[in-house]
Amino acid sequence: QKEVEQNSGPLSVPEGAIASLNCTYSDRGSQSFFWYRQYSGKSPELIMFIYSNGDKEDGRFTAQLNKASQYVSLLIRDSQPSDSATYLCAVNEVLGGGADGLTFGKGTHLIIQP
């Protein structure tokens, strides 16, 4: 059974600080890793995806992947109150995926304190 683990939180971070969200996964063969943001009562929206070990930056967001440790993280710099949401980590065993469903973690509830 594939598992994706996240600390449910809530994770409280002051406005302007760096928020660090972590995720571990059980399937060593996983190839694709995604971070989604989900506001309460809404569907998820893709924030970032990463396929290779190392860091990938996009604006205020940085995804970090360590396949040896089966660990993926999301850093949010200069946190804003609008970043307050649940962040879902998702994993797929296929590189790029497409016709395969993602396995999601339960999500981390992030609160940015003004």
Partner 1 sequence: GAVVSQHPSRVICKSGTSVKIECRSLDFQATTMFWYRQFPKQSLMLMATSNEGSKATYEQGVEKDKFLINHASLTLSTLTVTSAHPEDSSFYICSAASGGNEKLFFGSGTQLSVL
Q: Catalog residues that contact partner 1 under the rule CB under 8 A.
A: 4, 8, 32, 34, 41-46, 49, 88, 92, 94, 96-107
In angstroms, the CA 2 to CA 100 distance is 14
Q: To the nearest whole angstrom, how small is the minimum distance from the Cβ of residue 22 to partner 1?
A: 15
Contact at 8 Å (CB) between 62 and 55? yes
* Nearer of residues 31 and 70 to partner 1, judged by Cβ: 31
* Nearer of residues 32 and 79 to partner 1, judged by Cβ: 32
* Nearer of residues 49 and 61 to partner 1, judged by Cβ: 49
Reading the block at residue 87, the tokens are: 């962040």
The bridge status of strand 32-38 relative to strand 19-25 is unpaired
In angstroms, the CA 68 to CA 104 distance is 20
Q: To the nearest whole angstrom, how small is the minimum distance from the Cβ of residue 28 to partner 1?
A: 19
